[in-house]
Amino acid sequence: MRAFVAIEVDAPIRRALAGLIEELNRPSQPVKWVTPENIHLTLKFLGDVPQERVSEAIQIVRDCAQGIGPFSLAIQGTGAFPSTQQPRVIFAGAQDERNAAHELAGRLEERMEALGIEREDRPFQCHLTLGRLREPRALPALAAKMAAASARDFGKMTVTQITLIESTLTPQGPIYRPVEQMAL
């Protein structure tokens, strides 16, 4: 099972980000935009988890959620990796005053090694991916639109759970299915 652990985003925030995607989208751009129902904040990408180890992965996620408690997450601004001038990943920023998302990501990073899941080679960045390009390239019109939205507020939500999600890749895009939700 191809899977990841994520914070699912409230409907009002998804609608606000769908509006942003509409503003940023141009038919001539080589950007593959995330469908609004698939917008989420990834805490840890697991990759392929053998079916016989899924229950173990669920327990690890449950253990990592213990003691964190609900927290507030503000979705603000836009950005891109590696840069807005040469984007490969276009995102909306996410801030949490308690750094609970970072704490969860760190716990998951450490504990998932028991399943043979490799550690990320870059530090956790709290963000919601909106679009991807196959390779970084200059898109001046997109960069200008992103700069105009760089301080925009897309909403605030209270995070009360994290979810282990199965991702099935299809030619039309990924299909996500919640496997297990763990309360904070």
Q: What is the pLDDT along the chain (184 residues), one digit of tens a residue?
A: 999 999 999 999 999 999 999 999 988 889 999 999 999 999 999 999 999 999 999 999 999 999 999 999 999 999 999 999 999 999 999 999 899 999 999 999 999 998 999 999 999 999 999 999 988 889 999 999 999 999 999 999 999 999 999 999 999 889 999 999 999 9
For 36, which DSSP code?
G
d(CA 114, CA 117): 7
Residue 143 one-letter amino acid: A
Distance from CA of residue 162 to its chain's centroid? 12
The residue whose two tokens read 């917008």 is 39
Check if the beta carbon of residue 38 is closer than 8 Å to that of residue 116.
no
Burial of 66 (0-12, 13-18, 19+ CB in 10 A): exposed
Cross-strand bridge partners of residue 15: none
What pLDDT is recorded for position 137? 87
pTM of the model: 0.94
- What is the token pair recorded at 95? 């801030």
- Least Cα distance to 112 among 176, 53, 177 occurs for 53
Residues noted as catalytic:
40, 127
Residue 75: count other Cβ atoms within 10 Å of its Cβ: 26
Give CA–CA dist 84/62, Å, rounded: 36
Q: Go through the domains of the chain in sequence order and give each one's CATH number.
A: 2-183 (3.90.1140.10)
